[in-house]
Homo-oligomer: A and B are copies of this chain.
Amino acid sequence: MSQQRHGSTPGSTGAVPAFPDLPEATIARLPEYLRALHYLSESGSDTISSEGLATAAGVNSAKLRKDLSHLGSYGTRGVGYDVALLIDQIEYILGLDQRRAVCLVGVGNLGHALAGYDGFASRGFRIVALFDADPARIGEKINGLTVRHIDELGRVAAEESLAIGVIATPASAAQAVADDLVAAGVTSILNFAPCVLTVPANVDVRKVDLAIELQILSFHEHRKASLTALPGGRSAAGNQEAVGS
């Protein structure tokens, strides 16, 4: 797959290195800005103030300005940011102009949902292959793709230039799948299995654990309840314990 897609790229014009040393937190916010910018663009906005964009993305505007300054984007005083230009800059940095090929391993409940999720295509990705180890699932069609046996991963990875592997298997199978993905040359993994994966240093792993997200919310519920708790008794109104009793 070619590196350059449009002759020149927003990041290679000289003002900013192609890969500025971005803080992890900034990287994580760029997709939020991008989503907000696409929404603004579709609504007919050509420019947007840092305050407007910050509100649309759900962050504070000082943080947003600092994040975008890492990309060499400072906006224009009294005008704001050029929406189309900023979209190009962020998409370039995120590498979304390349429409990376994604494979999904494990087509149980969650895998089915992910395979059927329309949001990927509109946001820079193509799911090109589905895999499972269960013979009963091989050959099943989901959203136009046929589920293949995991043994075909190496061949498909070479054919399709797979960049990202999504693991939606049970925890017990996840490490073996990760090993297969790495052996097939995949260097980024999104792991939905509730376990820690061991991978070489050149492989990036991100993890989504739904129960962990709920447990973090549970902490906040507990904290809120403790703030309103009455000594020796039930908690005061304003949290679920009180609402339910």
Contacts and interface: CB of A to CB of B under 8 A. Distances in A.
Interface of A: 2-3, 18-19, 21-22, 24, 27-28, 30-32, 34-36, 56-58, 93-96, 98, 100-102, 109-110, 112-114, 116-117, 119-120, 123-125, 157-164, 166, 185-190, 194-196, 201-202, 204, 206, 208-227, 229, 233-235, 238-245
21 contacts: A3-B225, A3-B229, A31-B212, A35-B212, A94-B218, A100-B218, A102-B214, A109-B113, A112-B113, A114-B210, A124-B211, A124-B218, A163-B240, A164-B214, A166-B214, A185-B238, A201-B243, A202-B238, A204-B217, A208-B208, A208-B213
A228 to B, nearest CB: 10
B221 A187 contact: yes
Contacts of A222: 19, 93-95, 98
Contacts of A101: 240
Q: How many copies does the complex hold?
A: 2
Contacts of A201: 243
Nearest to A4: B232
Contacts of A57: 196
B187 A94 contact: no
Contact of A19 (B119, B157, B211, B223): B223
Given A214-B190, A224-B187, A161 B202 contact: no
Contacts of A204: 217, 220-221, 224
A214 B120 contact: yes
Contacts of A34: 215
The 8 A-B pairs at the shortest CB distance, nearest first, are namely: A161-B244, A95-B222, A113-B113, A58-B196, A188-B217, A185-B243, A163-B240, A31-B215
